[in-house]
């Protein structure tokens, strides 16, 4: 294995036009890796701390780079990530910033892969089987509001789920067609729509109308393509919950936690939802547990609830809160921590869904992570360059494996 020879950090643009951290890692054997940190808008209360990029870069140069250069092997991810933790010294990366940490962690993985000439997904431990029947099904955000768009739905994301697609390529194109078909349905209803942060349509409609529109669009595309396309939600309910009053607010509607649960369970049944993420507040483990029992087949996923954190996941496993965890490396700061969450979830029989953030770059690491961990679903959005970068990488990875 080869030692890290150099680490450089810079500020680059993310998809919202904000600065973010990009890292380059060079190994002594000449391997190179580059990665950039994404950034959330509806961030969980318990996420690792993202610092302003210039501060995160300065702190990482001071504390992390000296512990990496000439000290750790780029191909040994645990060693790299342990050095990042040691350099930071806190339990939430508030010293060097989770944005610097995750950029370096991912860049080191790519440098390690490059050094030995392997694709990243293979280097990350994915025994990709060319003939396997399954691949990560991309969940395509086609309509959304919440913190990602003003004047639209209270539910943050309506996600096309092409569960019957015969290949990842077919699934990716199906989601793009659902996105285009939503525009047709909006047009037929005399509605025009802007796009939110992830490129999903943000029409000026309430949640109920959005359900009708997405149901119609997924049905049309499923009929045309001849395979099943369901849909799911990211409610991002922590953003709707008023802890002082103990109610969820969506437009003019107020719901108690119990009413919120029954509402979601009713929707899961009515629309045969494939997937429901963060249907309840990020502190409501008991509510998640009750809902998981209530909905049967619908995957109940914790994003803000678990924040890719093994300790919070452990609490979820004990209480039966959800049957799926969302995995976002920047929520926890390193690939090793993300892998540990995937591994713990797997042992508990829970699905691990790999995800992008609403603020993204052209970085494709999560496509490799999803394949390497055999994720049932991957959230990457549907259109827009920072989203298609990952989707096109998934297509290439599948081709590689044939
Ligand atoms: P965020 O939203 O990246 O803005 O936090 C994405 C999500 O909630 O899944
Ligand atoms: Zn979410």
To test the ligand 1 pocket, which listed residue (282, 358, 360, 387) has its Cβ within 8 A of the most ligand atoms?
358
Q: Is residue 125 assigned to a domain?
A: no
Catalytic residues: 198, 328
The half-sphere exposure of 84 on its side-chain side, counting CA atoms within 13 A, is 32
User: Which atom belonging to ligand 1 lies closest to the Cα atom of 304?
Assistant: 8
CATH number of the structural domain spanning residue 76: 3.30.390.10
28-46 pLDDT tens trace: 999 999 999 999 999 999 9
User: Which atom belonging to ligand 1 lies closest to the Cα atom of 197?
Assistant: 4
Tell me, yes or no, whether 56 and 171 share the same domain: no
Residue 190: count of CB within 10 angstroms of its CB: 6
Tell me, yes or no, whether 45 and 164 share the same domain: no
To test the ligand 1 pocket, which listed residue (145, 156, 357, 387) has its Cβ within 8 A of the most ligand atoms?
357
Q: Are 261 and 290 in contact (CB under 8 A)?
A: yes
Per the structure, the complete domain to which residue 227 belongs is given by 137-401
pLDDT band of 402, cuts 50, 70, 90: low
Average pLDDT over residues 55-84: 98
Tell me, yes or no, whether 142 and 109 share the same domain: no
Ligand sitting nearest the alpha carbon of 331: 1
Average pLDDT over residues 192-215: 97
Ligand sitting nearest the alpha carbon of 198: 1
Q: How many structural domains does the chain have?
A: 2
Greatest C-alpha distance within the chain: 62
pLDDT value at residue 129: 45
pLDDT band of 126, cuts 50, 70, 90: low
Ligand 1 is surrounded, with C-beta below 6 A, by 40-43, 234, 236, 303, 355, 357-358
Q: Are 135 and 168 in contact (CB under 8 A)?
A: yes
Kindly give the distance from the C-alpha atom of residue 66 to the centroid of ligand 1, in angstroms, as a whole number.
Answer: 33
| Sequence-ordered list of residues with C-beta below 8 angstroms from that of 231, at least 6 positions apart, any chain | 142, 158, 159, 160, 161, 214, 215, 218, 271, 273, 274
At residue 130, does pLDDT exceed 90? no
Kindly give the distance from the C-alpha atom of residue 382 to the centroid of ligand 1, in angstroms, as a whole number.
Answer: 15
CATH number of the structural domain spanning residue 208: 3.20.20.120
Average pLDDT over residues 170-182: 98
Average pLDDT over residues 208-221: 98
Tell me, yes or no, whether 71 and 168 share the same domain: no
């Amino acid at each position: 294995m080869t030692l890290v020879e150099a680490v450089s950090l810079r500020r680059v643009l993310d998809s919202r036009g904000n600065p973010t951290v990009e890292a380059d890692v060079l190994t002594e054997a000449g391997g190179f890796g580059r990665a950039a940190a994404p950034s959330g808008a509806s961030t969980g209360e318990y996420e690792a701390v993202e610092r302003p990029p210039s501060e995160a870069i300065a702190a990482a140069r001071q504390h992390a780079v000296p512990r990496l250069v000439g000290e750790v092997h780029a191909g040994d991810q645990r060693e790299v990530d342990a050095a990042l933790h040691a350099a930071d010294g806190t339990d939430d990366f508030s010293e060097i910033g989770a944005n610097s940490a995750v950029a370096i962690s991912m860049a080191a993985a790519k440098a390690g892969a490059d050094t030995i000439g392997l694709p990243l997904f293979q280097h990350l431990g994915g025994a990709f089987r060319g003939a396997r029947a399954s691949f990560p099904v991309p969940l395509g955000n086609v309509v959304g509001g919440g913190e990602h768009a003003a004047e639209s739905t209270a539910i943050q994301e309506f996600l096309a789920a092409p569960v019957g697609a015969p290949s990842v390529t077919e699934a990716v194109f199906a989601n793009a067609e659902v996105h285009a078909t939503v525009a047709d349905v909006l047009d037929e209803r005399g509605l025009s729509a802007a796009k939110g942060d992830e490129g999903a349509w943000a029409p000026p409609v309430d949640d109920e109308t959005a359900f009708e529109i997405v149901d119609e669009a997924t049905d049309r595309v499923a009929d045309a393509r001849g395979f099943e396309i369901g849909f799911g939600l990211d409610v991002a309910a922590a953003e709707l919950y008023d802890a002082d009053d103990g109610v969820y607010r969506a437009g003019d509607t107020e719901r108690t936690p119990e009413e919120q649960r029954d509402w979601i369970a009713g929707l899961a049944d009515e629309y045969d939802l494939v997937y429901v993420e963060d249907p309840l507040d990020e502190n409501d483990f008991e509510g998640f547990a009750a809902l998981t029992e209530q909905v049967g087949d619908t995957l109940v996923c914790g994003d803000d609830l678990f924040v890719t954190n093994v300790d919070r996941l452990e609490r979820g496993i004990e209480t039966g809160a959800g049957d799926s965890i969302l995995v976002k490396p920047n929520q926890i700061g390193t690939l090793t921590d993300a892998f540990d969450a995937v591994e713990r979830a797997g042992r508990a029989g829970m699905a691990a869904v790999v995800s992008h953030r609403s603020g993204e770059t052209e970085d494709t690491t999560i496509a490799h992570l999803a394949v390497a961990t055999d994720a049932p679903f991957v959230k990457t959005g549907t259109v827009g360059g920072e989203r298609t970068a990952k989707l096109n990488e998934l297509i290439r990875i599948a081709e590689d494996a044939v």
